[in-house]
Amino acid sequence: MGEMIDKAKGLANEAAGKAKRAIGEATNRPDITADGDRQEAKGDLQKAKGDVKGAINRI
């Protein structure tokens, strides 16, 4: 169950990060672009965490 929650949170953070990055690029705001990049990376890590939990549960 925790696997799916982590993956869902990861997808949400990844999508929000991509949106922030796009807004930052459109408004020429490097600070917002950087925030978006960080949030997208956080989402990638959360998805990986969910993958690891799933692999452990299958053992």
- What's the pLDDT score for residue 1? 65
pTM recorded for the entire structure: 0.85
Kindly tell me the sign of the dihedral angle through the C-alpha atoms of 40, 42, 44, 47: negative
Inform me whether the pLDDT recorded for 46 exceeds 90: yes
Q: How many domains does the chain have?
A: 1
- What's the pLDDT score for residue 2? 83
Instruction: Map residue 17 onto helix, strand or coil.
Output: helix
How confident is the model over 22-41, as pLDDT tens digits?
999 999 999 999 999 999 99
Above pLDDT 70, what percent of the chain?
Answer: 98
Q: Which domain range does residue 35 map to?
A: 2-57
